[in-house]
């Protein structure tokens, strides 16, 4: 069996970009899936020869072209026309192309299922202990960090693994260059693992799989790789294109190799940006600090952001008053691939919004004002198009509404919770979830006023209500609940929805009785002297009477006797007396079917 060579390794050996290798493969008609595909040694030799020939032709051509240009210039320029001093010589700056721009650090998103060790991996890389501080051991919102490795700087985005944070994970994948999918070797591919892979594929970024927790005795990396194959991510060792690295985030085993793979892919993908170009970035997270004001974490993608710069983000603008890195160190500027926390926004920007530069405050305010006016006009048009019919009103009157007021610690958390609640509302035709207010920060007296008027429940995630607000909520009878774990909040809302839905029932037949004698009792009505043929008869249960196969009565059992005693139930093989509610036309030979309605569990 001939040796296999990976495309990105071949490109590295030849000292060229992987795109050049892919172009040669297209020329010779060799199929591949990505830069990490494997090639037969014979094909690799062909690529080496072709690239060497192209390189030789290009070098010879460039040399000849240079000589011709020098001769042409010398012939067309007289001594009198030539500048006599350096000051007289015009300074021309060549236009920048993508290949001449400086390299930038790759942006890596770490994704995967809850509790598979994503944050612990970053802890090891950064030598911090973030995971210990997360509520329930689960990351609750995105963190952005840049770390120095032996292979250069790498920017990491740590995204939550819980299913509620699909929105944040999607945003993380769209802002990244490379995705690391962390999978626990003792657990395998889980639902959020599949979601993470789907987001990375949608973002069209290279995927590296980190098989974590290999230090555990029950670890089974081979099972993980088999699971990956079912998702069309075939590991390299099985002849596929997916880079897999077995690691232990706990003791660091394999982490160095993982970072090497990230750097290798980044080098071959050749990520570059212009630090002198127009500022462009993306908001990773934003929140309101009681003392400082609005703070936003921004990943700079192009240009260099400086303190005192003016920027615009959606309907928010800022004069940058302070820049700090993930460790809290103040910076004067931040270039491409650097995540920074910005102080100075006029209002909270939306997570995922694009950041661009503005020349001055007046321009920045004008841009945001136009965006706000456009949004308000669109909202007015949308409201005007809503034609309410009598049928709509009737349908609405049959739908119950649960009013909610949401308060969260960050904008990202807020968006994630809203997304989950909207899906919960869509799952029921009988209940509407109305989010009357959703904002960042602790609940206020104003929230309680709104909740009291609208009979709403106030849900707080990651924030605590002040003591005065708690007392006021108790006094007004406003439900006020606080959560640190998001799925606890979701479960409570699901219970609220179930409490508003009319329960569904199904019949459960208890037994049958054959009427063998009709006993006429004054003032009590007719008693059916019956024999229980199967099951049981229970006082108060529902009953049907069948005569010659046709139903003649439907009601309930009012009285049940054994001889002269009132009893609760009688089982098969025994005789009893049955008195039916509001029915005296019982006849010998009738069959009484006894049943109950059982609520269907939601």
pLDDT above 90 (res 21): no
Q: Which residue has the tokens 């309907």?
A: 315
pLDDT above 90 (res 281): yes
- What is d(CA 338, CA 373) in angstroms, rounded to the nearest whole number? 33
Task: Say if residues 297 and 144 touch (Cβ distance below 8 Å).
Answer: yes
pLDDT above 50 (res 315): yes
- Please indicate whether residue 272 or residue 521 has the higher confidence score (pLDDT): 272
Least confident of 5-9, 299-303, 418-422, 569-573: 5-9
Phi, psi of 461, rounded to the nearest 5 degrees: -120, 120
Record the pTM: 0.61
Let me know how long the chain is: 602
The mean pLDDT of 37-60, rounded to a whole number, is: 76
Cite the beta strand spans of 213-315 per DSSP E.
Answer: 243-246, 280-289, 293-302, 305-306, 310-313
Closest CA to 338 of 96, 97, 148, 111: 148
Which residues have CB under 8 Å from 361's CB, separation 6+? 310, 317, 319
| Per-residue pLDDT, 238 | 86
pLDDT above 80 (res 85): no
The mean pLDDT of 319-344, rounded to a whole number, is: 93
**pLDDT-derived band of residue 351, with 50, 70 and 90 as boundaries?**
confident
Highest mean pLDDT among 15-24, 35-44, 71-80, 539-548: 539-548
**Model pLDDT for residues 190-214, shown as the tens digit of each residue:** 888 887 887 788 777 899 999 999 9
- What is d(CA 519, CA 14) in angstroms, rounded to the nearest whole number? 105
What percentage of the chain has pLDDT greater than the value 70?
A: 81
CATH number at 107-269: 3.40.50.300
**Coil, helix or strand for 473?**
helix
The mean pLDDT of 493-516, rounded to a whole number, is: 83
pLDDT above 50 (res 333): yes
What does the block give as tokens for 41?
A: 């040694």
**pLDDT-derived band of residue 78, with 50, 70 and 90 as boundaries?**
very low
- Please indicate whether residue 54 or residue 527 has the higher confidence score (pLDDT): 527
| Per-residue pLDDT, 590 | 95
Report, at the CATH architecture level, how domain 505-599 is classified.
Beta Barrel (2.40)
- Please indicate whether residue 16 or residue 378 has the higher confidence score (pLDDT): 16
**Model pLDDT for residues 561-573, shown as the tens digit of each residue:** 998 888 999 999 9
The mean pLDDT of 27-35, rounded to a whole number, is: 72
Which residues have CB under 8 Å from 562's CB, separation 6+? 570, 574, 575, 576, 577
- Please indicate whether residue 2 or residue 314 has the higher confidence score (pLDDT): 314
**Coil, helix or strand for 567?**
coil
- Please indicate whether residue 368 or residue 22 has the higher confidence score (pLDDT): 368
pLDDT above 70 (res 65): no
The mean pLDDT of 470-476, rounded to a whole number, is: 89
- What is d(CA 117, CA 137) in angstroms, rounded to the nearest whole number? 10
CATH number at 4-67: 1.10.10.2480
pLDDT above 90 (res 343): yes
Write out the DSSP string of 57-107. Answer: HHHHHHHHHHHHHHHHHHHH--TTTS-SSGGGS---PPPP-GGGSPB-PPE
pLDDT above 80 (res 530): yes
**pLDDT-derived band of residue 542, with 50, 70 and 90 as boundaries?**
very high
**Coil, helix or strand for 444?**
coil
Q: Where in the chain is the domain with CATH 1.10.10.2480?
A: 4-67
The H or E element that residue 423 is part of is helix 411-426
| Per-residue pLDDT, 75 | 44
Superfamily of domain 390-500: Translation initiation factor IF- 2, domain 3 (3.40.50.10050)
**Model pLDDT for residues 360-412, shown as the tens digit of each residue:** 999 999 999 888 888 777 656 655 544 444 344 344 444 478 889 999 988 88
Q: What is the mean pLDDT of the chain?
A: 82
Alpha helix (H) ranges present in 427-554? 445-454, 467-476, 486-500
Q: Where in the chain is the domain with CATH 3.40.50.300?
A: 107-269
Q: Where in the chain is the domain with CATH 2.40.30.10?
A: 280-373, 505-599
* Helix axes of 18-28 and 7-14: crossing angle, nearest 10 degrees: 110
What does the block give as tokens for 392?
A: 């709509």
Name the CATH topology of 280-373.
Elongation Factor Tu (Ef-tu); domain 3 (2.40.30)
């Amino acid at each position: 069996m001939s040796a296999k060579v990976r495309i990105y390794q071949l490109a590295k050996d030849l000292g060229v970009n992987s795109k050049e290798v892919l172009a040669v493969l297209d020329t010779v008609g060799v199929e591949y899936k990505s830069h990490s595909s494997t090639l037969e040694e014979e094909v690799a030799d062909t690529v080496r020869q072709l690239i060497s020939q192209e390189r030789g032709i290009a070098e010879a051509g460039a040399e000849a072209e240079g000589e011709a240009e020098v001769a042409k210039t010398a012939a067309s320029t007289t001594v009198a026309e030539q500048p006599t001093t350096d000051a007289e010589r015009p300074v021309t700056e060549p236009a920048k192309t993508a290949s001449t721009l400086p390299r930038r650090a790759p942006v890596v998103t770490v994704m995967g299922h809850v509790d598979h060790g994503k944050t612990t991996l970053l802890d090891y890389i950064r030598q911090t202990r973030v995971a210990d501080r997360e509520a329930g051991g689960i990351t609750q919102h995105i963190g952005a960090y840049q770390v120095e490795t032996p292979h250069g700087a790498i920017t990491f985005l740590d995204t939550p693994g819980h299913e509620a944070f699909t929105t944040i994970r999607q945003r993380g994948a769209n802002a990244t260059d490379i995705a690391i999918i962390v999978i626990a070797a003792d657990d395998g591919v889980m639902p959020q693992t599949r979601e993470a892979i789907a987001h990375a594929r949608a973002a069209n970024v290279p995927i590296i799989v980190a098989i974590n927790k290999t230090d555990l005795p029950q670890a089974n990396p081979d099972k993980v790789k088999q699971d990956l194959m079912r998702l069309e991510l075939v590991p390299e060792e099985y002849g596929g294109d997916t880079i897999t690295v077995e690691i232990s985030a706990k003791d660091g085993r394999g982490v160095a190799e993982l970072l090497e793979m990230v750097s290798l892919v980044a080098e071959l993908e050749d990520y570059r940006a212009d630090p002198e170009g127009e500022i462009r970035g993306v908001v990773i997270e934003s929140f309101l600090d009681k003392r400082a004001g609005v703070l936003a974490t921004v990943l700079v993608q192009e240009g260099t952001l400086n303190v005192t710069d003016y920027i615009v983000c959606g309907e928010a603008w800022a004069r940058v008053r302070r820049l700090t890195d993930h460790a809290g160190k103040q910076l004067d500027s931040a270039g491409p691939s650097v995540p920074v926390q910005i102080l100075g926004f006029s209002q909270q920007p939306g997570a995922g919004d694009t950041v661009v530069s503005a020349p001055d405050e007046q321009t920045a305010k004008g841009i945001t004002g136009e965006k706000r006016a456009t949004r308000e006009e669109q909202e007015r048009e949308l409201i005007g198009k809503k034609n309410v019919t009598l049928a709509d009103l009737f349908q609405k009157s049959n739908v119950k509404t649960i009013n909610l007021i949401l308060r969260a610690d960050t904008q990202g958390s807020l968006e994630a919770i809203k997304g989950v609640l909207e899906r919960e509302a869509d799952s029921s035709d009988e209940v509407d979830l109305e989010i009357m207010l959703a904002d960042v920060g602790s609940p206020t007296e104003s929230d309680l006023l709104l909740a009291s008027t609208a009979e709403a429940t106030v849900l707080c995630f990651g924030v605590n209500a002040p003591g005065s607000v708690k007392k006021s909520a108790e006094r007004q009878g406003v439900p006020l609940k606080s959560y640190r774990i998001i799925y606890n909040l979701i479960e409570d809302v699901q219970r609220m929805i179930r409490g508003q839905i009319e329960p569904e029932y199904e019949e459960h037949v208890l037994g049958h009785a054959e009427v063998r004698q009709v006993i006429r009792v004054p003032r009590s009505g007719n008693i059916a002297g019956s024999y229980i043929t199967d099951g049981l008869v229970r006082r108060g249960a529902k009953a049907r009477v069948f005569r010659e196969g046709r139903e003649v009565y439907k009601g309930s059992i009012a009285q049940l006797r054994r001889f002269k005693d009132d009893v609760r139930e009688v089982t098969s093989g025994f005789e009893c007396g049955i008195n039916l509610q509001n029915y005296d036309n019982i006849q010998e030979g009738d069959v009484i079917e006894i049943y109950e309605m059982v609520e269907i569990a939601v």
